[in-house]
Structure 1
Amino acid sequence: MLLISPSDARDAAGASESISPLQSTTPYADALRSLASHDWQRLHVPAHQGRDHNAPGVASLVGPEALALDFPMLFSGIDQHDWRLVSSGRETPLVQAQALAAEAWGASRTWFLTNGASGGNHIATTVVRALGREFVVQRSVHSSVIDGITHVDLEPHFVQGAVDAGLGSAHGVTAEQVEEALAAHPDSAAVYVVSPSYFGAVADITGISAVAHRYEVPLIVDEAWGSHFGLHPALPVNAVRAGADLVISSTHKGAGSLTQSAMLHLGHGPYARKLESLVDRVVRSFQSTSCSALLLASLDEARRHLVMDGPEMIGKALESAEAIRAAVRASPRFRDATPDILASPDAVANDPFKIVIDTRGAGITGTDAQYRLIRDHRIYCELATPAALLLLVGATAPADVERILTALHSLPQAESEPERMRALPPAGERRMGLQAAFFSAVETVPWQEAEGRISVDSLAAYPPGIPNVLPGEVLGSGSIAFLRGTAAAPSGYVRGAHDPALDYFRVVAR
């Protein structure tokens, strides 16, 4: 078996962007397959003990091979240290796999996560709390960041990102905004931003990291939607290479690992180095002691595929995405919204795998279009707003261009423009801290009585999971109407809601 140490990966990442021959290997996945190849009598967890007849229903979902590979953590020499490896100076296959991922993404160190980027955000917010209580954070962060802030009682200084009210999309923040916030709040211990946005707007991470470092604080980037960045010349540079100190990457979203698998990347330079020991301890405190071997192995395999086959496969996927975008541009009915994304003041680039189709003027709402694509064509888009459809093409998964275009052109068109939901509401007035509100005594009131009351919940029109209301914020009529409208839409869902229809809201008791 070929072996690589974390220091080898750091040296390779720091000195050269050339591909190491070791990138063709999958040390953890291969070790797992080798382990499963033996005829074990398994007297340990999980209870199915690797046999499909012990869990026939589960086997019908994932196959007997997956059950055989479903080993627990703490297997000597696989994910835990074996004395024979230690004595020879070698690392475990899991550590080797993480080192290869660090090399691939240009990080100094990478951790594999099995609770998604949401778990990564919980880790990162806990890291911030160890640095200080105050920090500068983009308001349009994912709800998992808000949950993390609430859990550890951080004091956030929010920076309002750009909003495209017409499309119903929230984007990012600029370096100038971050500098203003740090100057206004000099006790801030970190900066926390999102890039790319759910709609694909890429922020100026190089500029923002320069500002953060000038104020002597680390930059943390939620790059959940950019796990494929930096792995093809036609894609934007990834956040670690742009100067970020800690990066949360939802590898399953754009890079093809199994759902719920993710990575946490550590950057380079003095601010990142100061974080390493702390991050490692926090990762261990959050990571399950029963991590899924299948999820970990999928990260190893996804990395190998992206690095070794990426130039060809990503190229084909990009061609399919551009073909769809070009056809939309040529359509007299639909409009390619890429120019809108790039016009956002925070955007320095866009993710070409996010295709935003403007349905305004098309005689159909985006939400109705998505419903009909699902019902009539078995095509499921990533997201719909009343004004747009958002398509996500996988980085190594070329789209069936003809199928989606045929379905789009077959959508019915009303004679008159349909009514569309109002734009994203502004953030409400903040009257309490997040943790204070979250743990307050609760009163449940009808929606007609909720206006002017203080929310105890983080309420996010989901997807994309960006909270429209935070604990401690006043519920306004616009927010109430927007959230109720979202819940009433086909497949509508509001994360954090006590009542799925939002006929009732949970508020701080008087």
Structure 2
Amino acid sequence: MNTRTTPHRTPVPTDPGSGQLSAPFAEAVLAHAGRDWLRLNVPGHAAAPGSDLAGFLGSRITALDFPPLLDGIDLGADTPLDRARALAAEAWGARRTWFLTNGASQGNQIASMVAPSLGRTLVVQRSVHSSVTDGLVLSGMDAVFVQPSVDPAQGIAHGVTAADVAAALERTPDAAAVYIVSPSYFGAVADVRALADTAHAAGVPLIVDEAWGSHFGFHPALPPCALSLGADLVTSSTHKLAGSLTQSAMLHLAEGPFADRLEALVDRAFRLVQSTSASALLTASLDLARRSLATDPAAIARSVEAADRVRGAVRALGRFRVVSDGFPAFPDIVGPDPLRIALDTRAGGITGHEARRLLFRDHQVMVEVATDAAIVAVIGAGSVPDTDRFLEALHTLPSPLTGSGPVPAAVSHLPVPGPAKLTAREAFLSPTRVLPAERAVGRISADTLAAYPPGIPNVLPGEVITAEVVRFLQRTATAPNGHVRGAVDRGVTRLRVVD
């Protein structure tokens, strides 16, 4: 039976006369920076205008860099920080919002740490970010993984269906929660409403890693945010597309039958993993990003229009393909994030890795990520970059069509993970040894290994290492800009296994 009794709120409507126009924490920090302080406290740069840091970053930044626990900023009752967090909760339609200064990874770790209060096993989308795996190590929970759909042409993972989650819940009587990702790194949006209904029918909450969807719900052209669709706990990587500084994020708790039980636990787990020296700069940027999202829908519309122009031009020119045009073929995808521009570069005669390298080196154009087959560019909510420059650079890339450039390699398909023999925590804390990669095949991994970005684990602690996985990770490591998070060495020539 569905346990939901309280409807979820939708993000606050944009109203120029509303309190969303204020940024109480940022304004308080700015006011403090304008006073003539003798700073005999941390940070050690003391906002000295002649310091190397001020010379590099500018004295305005160092003047705004205050430590926590200051009257008039975050100490006492009804502080500017309290008001800023309340405005964020109102904007996203949450019961309560926490500001994070260690990224959405911190939010995923918190969510994983509180789940044991609800059961023994997490039902988890297998293509979650590696920080969710880190949370499993911290919590010690068992996990039942739901495999995502995979685009064989692109070699990328998308999402999971409600039917697959329901099947996993049926075989998991001690389930604590369902943990999914939406949107994916390539912008695939899951059917969060159906997934929430499925989780609630089984009496468990839905946790959503909405790291890439912090802007959702703030304009009609954007998908609804996960909270408005029934999610119970949502990680929001505000710095990604909502405009706050790198490493800043939010964690949102919804109203509903799980809220009373989770709120105090989330607050305690937050204190375990949040720095006691949280950055005022990161926190202020969250306050300002929220204000921009909630009060300037016209800016978001311009960003969506810019992204649409890029996709339209790519289709018209015909050399490359738009990856999201193929999303309707997958039952787990209900739509794309319009601010994500994923392009199949192999269709234009060049690998994604080579395209990214040449865009960076020859055109000073940075894109978010590359795979063998594609590149992904993003446009932040409120940003309108020079899309003509990007399109021109993209279409001057060499290819066999012009008689130059490398012949594109075959897509490196995502490897099937090996079977799990231990929990993530058991494997992580077991005695280990480091072996040459070829000798590690068939052994149990003690580490999380993830081709990064996007940081989706290819090997989890407790899983058997396969030859296919080793080949995939080594190929990733040798690609331009390739990196394997958690590897013992850069080339993945050695692996840490349970002894």
Place the TM-score, normalised by the shorter chain, in its bin.
over 0.9
Q: Does 1:464 align with 2:454?
A: yes
Correspondences of 1:374-385 after superposition (within 5 Å): 374-385=360-371
Any conservation in 2 of the 1:199–1:341 contact (CA below 8 Å)?
A: no
CA shift digits 1:168-200 (9 cap, x unpaired):
221111111111111110111111111111111
Structure 2 residue aligned with 1:371, among 357, 372, 378? Answer: 357
Question: For 2:383, what is the secondary structure of its paired residue?
Answer: coil
Q: State the TM-score, normalizing by the size of structure 1.
A: 0.93
Quote the offset at 1:22 in angstroms. Answer: 0.7
SS of the aligned residue for 2:458 comes to strand
Secondary structure of the residue aligned to 1:420 is coil
* Distance in 2 of aligned mates of 1:428 and 1:29: 48
- What is the DSSP-based 3-state SS (H/G/I as helix, E as strand, rest coil) of the residue aligned with 1:151? helix
**Secondary structure of 2:462's aligned partner:** coil
Contact (CA 8 Å) 1:162, 1:171: kept in 2 or not?
yes
1:421 and 1:499, CA in 2 relative to 1: closer, same or farther beyond 3 A? Answer: farther
Q: Which residue of the other structure, out of 247, 272, 287, is the alignment partner of 1:285?
A: 272
Q: Distance in 1 between matches of 2:200 and 2:342?
A: 34
Alignment of 1:144-293 (within 5 A): 144-293=131-280
Partner of 2:475: 485
Partner SS, residue 123 of structure 2: strand
Greater CA drift, 407-416 or 140-149: 407-416
Kindly provide the amino acid, as one letter, of the partner of residue 357 in structure 1.
Answer: L
The equivalences for 1:298-313 within 5 A come to 298-309=285-296, 311-313=297-299
Would the aligned equivalents of 1:342 and 1:350 in 2 still touch at CA under 8 Å? Answer: no
What SS does the corresponding residue of 1:399 show, helix, strand or coil?
A: coil
2: distance between equivalents of 1:179 and 1:42?
57
Say whether 1:69 aligns with 2:71. no
* Residues 486-506 of structure 1: per-residue CA shift (max 9 Å, x gap): 000111100000011011111
CA distance in structure 2 between the aligned counterparts of 1:317 and 1:68, rounded to whole angstroms: 32
Separation (CA, whole Å) in 2 of partners of 1:239 and 1:304: 19
Whether the aligned pair in 1 keeps the contact of 2:146 and 2:168 (CA below 8 Å) is yes
Question: In structure 2, the residue corresponding to 1:448 is in which secondary structure?
Answer: helix
Q: Which residue of the partner structure matches residue 503 of structure 1? A: 493
Write the distance in 1 (CA, Å) between the matches of 2:299 and 2:12. Answer: 23
Aligned match of 1:33 in 30, 33, 47? 30
- Identify the range of structure 1 (422-431 vs 135-144) with the bigger mean alpha-carbon deviation: 422-431
- Gapped regions of structure 1 (runs ≥ 5): 1-9
Q: Which residue of 2 aligns with 1:5?
A: none
What CA distance in whole angstroms lies between the structure 2 residues aligned with 1:155 and 1:259?
A: 32
Query: Quick one: structure 1 residues 243 and 280, their matched pair in 2 at CA, closer, same or farther if it must change by over 3 Å?
Result: same
- In the alignment, structure 1 residue 45 sits paired with structure 2 residue 42: yes
Post-superposition Cα deviations, 1:381-412, rounded to whole Å, max 9, x if no partner, equal 11111111111111111121110111111100
Matching residue's letter, 2:414 = L
Q: Is the 8 A contact 1:134 1:155 kept in 2?
A: yes
The TM-score normalised by the length of structure 2 is: 0.95
Q: Secondary structure at the match of 2:145?
A: strand
SS in 2 for 1:209: helix
Q: Secondary structure at the match of 2:219?
A: coil
Q: Pick from 327, 338, 348: which aligns with 1:341?
A: 327
Alpha-carbon distance in 1 for matches of 2:91, 2:491: 45
CA-CA distance at 1:451 after TM superposition: 1.8
1:436-455 matched pairs, under 5 angstroms: 436-455=426-445
- 1:263 deviation in Å? 0.5
Q: Which moved more, 1:329-338 or 1:464-473?
A: 329-338
Do 2:451 and 2:484's aligned partners in 1 also have CA atoms closer than 8 Å? Answer: yes
Give SS of 2:175's match.
coil
1:280 maps to a residue whose letter is D
Deviations 1:104-151 (A, max 9, x none): 111111111100000111111111123232121111110000011012
Q: 1:435–1:37: structure 2 CA closer, same or farther, 3 Å change rule?
A: same
SS in 2 for 1:240: helix
Alignment size in residue pairs:
489
Which of 1 and 2 has higher RCO (CA within 8 Å, sep 6+)? 2
Over 3 Å off, 4+ runs: 10-20
* CA positional deviation for 1:308: 1.5
Partners of 1:16 and 1:330 in 2: CA distance? 37
1:189 is paired with a residue of what secondary structure? Answer: strand
- In 2, the alpha carbon distance for the partners of 1:14 and 1:339 equals 28
C-alpha distance in 2, partners of 1:362/1:383? 17
For residue 400 of structure 1, what is the amino acid of its counterpart?
A: D
Q: Which amino acid aligns with 2:136?
A: I
Report what 1:388 is aligned to: 374
CA distance in 1, matches of 2:359, 2:70: 46
